[in-house]
Homo-oligomer: A and B are copies of this chain.
Amino acid sequence: MKLNIAVLPGDGIGPEITQQSVKVLKAVADRFDHEFQFDDALVGAAAIDLLENPLPEATLDLCLKSDAVLFGAIGHPKYDNNPDAKVRPEQGLLKLRKELGLFANIRPVRTYEKLLDQSPLKRERIAGADMVIYRELTGGIYFGEKSTAEDGKSAQDLCFYSEEEIDRIAHLAFKAAQQRRNKLTLVDKANVLETSRLWRKTVKTIAREYPDVELDFLFVDNAAMQMILNPKQFDVILTENMFGDILSDEASVIGGSIGLLASASVGTKNAMFEPIHGSYPQATGKGIANPVASVLSAAMLLDHFNLIEEANAVRKAVELSIKLNVCTEDINKDNHYSTEKVGDFLEGLI
């Protein structure tokens, strides 16, 4: 298969981890006789520094015409602590999601036997936990109209959802549930928000088309608690943009490190693959960032093009590396390997 892959390393640890996935993907191309073409482009703070634009035209063009985007991370503290900054790295990511129409962000969460004791949660609570979060990614309060009053003394953000936006991701989530344990949990705040009531109503209607999937509902506050009390209860979680952002970061504690969590963002035409961790600026350049989240995102990329054997080879490599403790310091305190060494090891296993 021939694939054009746009590589957007971005900020902080983005470049160093993305480099490892590119290595792994190249090894996959070699072994399975594919032709993967990689093209780098600027995004985020890196792009602002050079071009004053977190998503330069050239980057967007490249992404639009590529088969897939491999994304690193975005964000820089110099913007976070400046509420007056007019241009921010995150705008690059948000605009990219919007322009590529990536409405569904898919975030699998699982445990590894070897890492069960790394989690802050007790082993018996998490052993066997295996869920996937379907987070709506191009709507809600992230993209609604936002403004600050002239006098700077008030501000607002609008959370808007249409039936259509809910529909398309809900179908994906129900279908995923059918391939898994046939359970879907909608997380919302329907006792307070009008948009949540629209979600509940729309998803209930769609559920009739999937009679083999059991549907239940949780308020987001309760879900944030249940995620820790009993993560094994979840199979597929479906939720809106902001709640999905919060819950998936929270869920990262189950696996033992946020450095393990991959994601795929899909639309009707394009697809992007990115670790759920951020740019982790404090770690930049130190060789301590865990490349696994990015490498597993690359595996999701392979899945996306139905290269299942290839994706499984990548996942197997990751599993072995964890089993053998060839891991970065987030999950291997005593005798850790560098970002690059872990990447080399994974590459070697393909």
Contacts and interface: CB of A to CB of B under 8 A. Distances in A.
Contacts of A282: none
A72 B193 CA distance: 22
Interface string A106-125: 00000000000000111001
Contacts of A227: 250
Given A191-B88, A225-B258, A246-B246, A83 B120 contact: no
A246 B250 CA distance: 11
Contacts of A249: 221-222, 224-225
A162 B157 contact: no
Interface stretch (A57-65, A196-204, A262-270, A339-347): A196-204
A189 B228 contact: no
23 contacts: A75-B191, A80-B217, A80-B219, A83-B190, A83-B198, A83-B201, A120-B121, A120-B125, A120-B228, A146-B194, A146-B195, A148-B198, A153-B162, A153-B164, A154-B160, A154-B162, A155-B160, A155-B198, A157-B158, A221-B250, A225-B258, A229-B253, A250-B250
Contacts of A29: none
A233 interface: no
A189 B155 CA distance: 13
Contact of A197 (B83, B153, B198, B247): B83
Interface of A: 75, 79-81, 83-84, 88, 90, 94, 120-122, 125, 141-142, 144, 146-148, 152-164, 189-195, 197-198, 200-201, 204, 217, 219-222, 224-225, 227-230, 242-243, 245-250, 252-253, 258, 278
* Copies of the chain in the assembly: 2
Contact of A159 (B122, B156, B200, B230): B156
A147 B194 contact: yes
A158 B81 CA distance: 25
A160 B246 CA distance: 20
A79 B200 CA distance: 12
Contact of A155 (B80, B125, B194, B242): B194
A247 B228 contact: no
Nearest to A197: B83
Identify which of A155, A164, A194 gathers the most chain B CB atoms within 10 Å of its CB: A155
A347 to B, nearest CB: 29
Contacts of A121: 120-122, 228
- The list of the 8 closest CB pairs from A to B, nearest first, reads A221-B249, A224-B250, A146-B194, A155-B198, A83-B197, A83-B201, A154-B162, A155-B194
